[in-house]
A and B are shown apart, each in its own frame.
Chain A
Amino acid sequence: MSKAHIPNRKKDEKIILLLRRHPFVIAIKIGFWLVVAIMPLALYLIMSPAVDELLNHQIFQPLLIMFISIYYLYVWLFIFQSFVDYYLDIWIVTSHRIINIEQKGLFFRTVSEQNLYRVQDVTSELKGFFSTMFDYGTVYIQTAGEEVRFIFRQVPHPYQVAEKIGKIVEESKRFNKMMESEDKITIN
């Protein structure tokens, strides 16, 4: 991952976790659109004499060509849109913060972050058949900040992720306490 893509990156900040949704989630979406793409071909095989007649018709031929062209252009666009959604939704855990980046449509992007020492609780949830089979689920991160809850959606190995975040948060809190007591000593 490029350093430039972490907003306001600090000098000593290290990426510990970079998470996207489980690949199964995008595979399901792409699979759906591929079925949609195959449907006209299946329809052609079933109704080929009628379609052939339409293709030879002076008026219907251009209309059918335009319809097929638009149909495949948009199926292809929706497949790409699914990929863009998948690729641009990222959850990053660094040595200092949790960053939540979500692309919600073409002109709506949210980036929120919170310091690790402000995390209060980390919960993982694995719900449903496919979620259990492929080991992906949701991780809820409760914080004391303005954005009270960070949700890592459909991430792989949610239990391990929650465990890892828990450990990092503990370390961060210990470090933060140590720094605070050091500051107090210096002031005194």
Chain B
Amino acid sequence: MGIPLAIFYFVYLGFVVVFLFFTFFNVYHLVRFGFLSLGNLGVISFYLLVSAMILSSSWYYLSQIDWSQIIPITLQVMPTI
């Protein structure tokens, strides 16, 4: 008996969706109400670039994981630290 690891993956995806939602509206506000100056466009591009880097590097590591694993509910799951 245990918790499927995939549950945490879906929770993670939920956080990513919220992140994308806020990102969309922040960028929308900057484009709609901000001023289309080179500085503003630069900030938006830089933000999107760094966000894409964080997401793609996370994806790189997470894609190698076997999500069918089950986390056993025993005390022995904790490694000795």
Partner of A76, one of B5, B25, B50: B50
Partner of B54, one of A5, A66, A76, A101: A76
B26 and A81 form a contact (CB under 8 A): yes
- CB-CB under 8 A from B62, the residues of chain A are 62, 65-66, 69
How many Å lie between the Cα of A3 and that of B5 in the bound state?
54
Min CB gap A60→B, angstroms:
7
- CB-CB under 8 A from A81, the residues of chain B are 22, 26
B36 and A70 form a contact (CB under 8 A): no
Min CB gap B11→A, angstroms:
8
A103 and B29 form a contact (CB under 8 A): yes
- CB-CB under 8 A from B81, the residues of chain A are 50, 53-54
Min CB gap B5→A, angstroms:
6
Taking CB atoms and an 8 Å cut-off, the chain B residues in 15-69 that contact chain A are 15-16, 19, 22-23, 25-26, 29-30, 33-36, 40, 43, 47, 50-51, 54-55, 57-58, 61-62, 65, 67, 69
Min CB gap B70→A, angstroms:
9
Main secondary structure of the interface of A (DSSP, over half): helix
Min CB gap B48→A, angstroms:
10
- CB-CB under 8 A from A57, the residues of chain B are 79
A58 and B69 form a contact (CB under 8 A): yes
B61 and A77 form a contact (CB under 8 A): no
A2 and B79 form a contact (CB under 8 A): no
B69 and A66 form a contact (CB under 8 A): no
Supplied contacts A66-B62, A77-B19, A80-B26, 15 more A-B pairs, CB within 8 Å? A59-B5, A62-B65, A65-B58, A65-B62, A66-B11, A69-B62, A70-B16, A73-B54, A74-B19, A84-B29, A88-B29, A88-B33, A103-B29, A106-B25, A106-B26
